[in-house]
Amino acid sequence: MATTWFLRWRGLGPIFFVLILTVVGVRAYLQTGAASRGGVPGGTPRVVFIKPKTGVHEIAQALQESGVIRSGWAFLAIAYLQGSITRLQSGEYEFFVGMPLREVLRKLEAGRVITHQVTIPEGFTAREIAQLFASEKLVDAERFLGLAQDPAFVQELGIEALGLEGYLFPDTYRLTRGMGEEEILRIMVARLRQVVPQDLADRARAVGLDLHGAITLASLIEREARLQRERPIISAVFHNRLRRKMPLQSDPTAVYGLPSASRRITAADLQRKSPYNTYLAVGLPPGPIASPGLSSIMAAVSPAKVNYLYFVSRNDGSHAFSRTLQEHSRAVAIYQQGGKEPGS
């Protein structure tokens, strides 16, 4: 009989624990209620990041340590009383000091996390994209790059390439901390598929390219062109050279992969041994050298109907196009001397 009595009381133990927790928590809540009810947006903000699979006790502790709430016990009690314990979501949140506990809980239940708006410029490399996301604390840059170069992951995304360079579409993204590198990469590749025409592969074949070749050529156009109207013309120069089996001689390919690729390109760079250096190798490089925008992608499969083989920068964002080496040499002499005729 004593054993039965003991078992009954042991079974009631959790209930008493909950009652004690509730009484203590509510009492703490009432004692600090004035401060809690006084908290409104516009007060001191606190950013709290709750990792996935974080327990409710750890959430309460994080909120208390950050100064969002005064009593973890009160938070736990209210969460239990209104059935919120199993509905709290992970993520990065902005709270205000003294925010009412029920409002804190509602925000956690609804998952109203902070969103980061990040714009990826056209022509960024995968490394530059990784560094930009890392500056917003959205990814680990090296892990992001590692996944972008992982053949198994690339194949899983249905990309027939060595990596995701060129397939991470430059656009404005609204992301949340905790999404992770893999999810962000998936979003960017999905955005590329959403934006480009469904018949892009057919358009590429019509001009003698496969889909990978079209994205690769588009990346060269992206890094060379500054003016929208010139993209189809630059595309035509590259197509004309490909048909004649002439080296493309695109300066940005010579420094692809170098950490300081944004610096001024030198004559020594043009002789750098690399499979991407189109001064030394005939044809397209093995893959894209940057993320092209839609206009460059469309220019790659829709070149202008011109017979230019050369172009040189006019140093104002535009280019001078030439049909012969003699014309090109004259243009180089002019624009390398600041737009003046040779000898003037």
141-148 helix and 181-195 helix, angle to the nearest 10 degrees? 50
Task: Answer yes or no: same fold for 18-110 and 116-195.
Answer: yes
Do 100 and 92 touch, CB atoms closer than 8 A? no
pLDDT over 90 at 108, yes or no: yes
**CATH of the structural domain 116-195, one choice from 1.20.120, 3.30.1490, 3.30.70, 3.40.50:** 3.30.1490
pLDDT at 106 (0 to 100): 93
Q: Which amino acid is at 128?
A: E
pLDDT at 264 (0 to 100): 77
257-284 confidence digits (pLDDT tens): 887 656 678 888 888 899 999 999 999 9
pLDDT at 199 (0 to 100): 96
pLDDT over 80 at 344, yes or no: no
Percent of the chain with pLDDT over 70: 84
193-205 confidence digits (pLDDT tens): 999 999 999 999 9
DSSP conformation letters of 79-140: HHHTT-TTT---EEEEEETT--HHHHHHHHHHT----EEEE--TT--HHHHHHHHHHTTSS-
The C-alpha atoms of residue 125 and residue 240 are separated, in whole angstroms, by 26
As a whole number, mean pLDDT of residues 188-196 equals: 97
pLDDT at 7 (0 to 100): 43
Question: What are the start-end ranges of the E strands in the chain?
Answer: 45-50, 91-96, 116-119, 172-175, 310-313, 319-322
As a whole number, mean pLDDT of residues 146-167 equals: 96
Do 312 and 332 touch, CB atoms closer than 8 A? yes
pLDDT at 36 (0 to 100): 40
The C-alpha atoms of residue 164 and residue 322 are separated, in whole angstroms, by 34
- What share of residues in the chain are helix, strand, coil (percent, to 5)? 50, 10, 45
Indicate the domain borders of the chain. 18-110, 116-195, 207-308
> What is the pLDDT confidence band of residue 42, given thresholds at 50, 70 and 90?
low
pLDDT over 50 at 340, yes or no: yes
On average, the pLDDT of the chain sits at 87
Residues 103-123, buried b or exposed e (16+ Cβ, 10 A)? ebbebbbeeebeebebebebb
pLDDT over 80 at 104, yes or no: yes
Lowest pLDDT segment from 14-18, 44-48, 108-112: 14-18
Burial class of residue 164 (count of CB atoms within 10 Å of its CB; 0-12, 13-18, 19+): buried
Q: Is 167 helix (H, G, I), strand (E, B) or coil?
A: coil
228: Cβ contacts below 8 Å, ≥ 6 apart? 295
pTM: 0.80
pLDDT at 98 (0 to 100): 83
As a whole number, mean pLDDT of residues 29-49 equals: 58
pLDDT at 266 (0 to 100): 82
pLDDT over 80 at 33, yes or no: no
Do 160 and 213 touch, CB atoms closer than 8 A? no
Q: What is the DSSP letter of 227?
A: S
> What is the pLDDT confidence band of residue 338, given thresholds at 50, 70 and 90?
low
Percent of the chain with pLDDT over 90: 72
pLDDT at 132 (0 to 100): 97
291-325 confidence digits (pLDDT tens): 999 999 999 999 999 999 999 999 899 999 999 99
**Superfamily name and number for 18-110:** Endolytic murein transglycosylase (3.30.1490.480)
Burial class of residue 179 (count of CB atoms within 10 Å of its CB; 0-12, 13-18, 19+): middle
Give the HSE-up count for residue 164: Cα atoms under 13 Å, Cβ half-sphere: 31
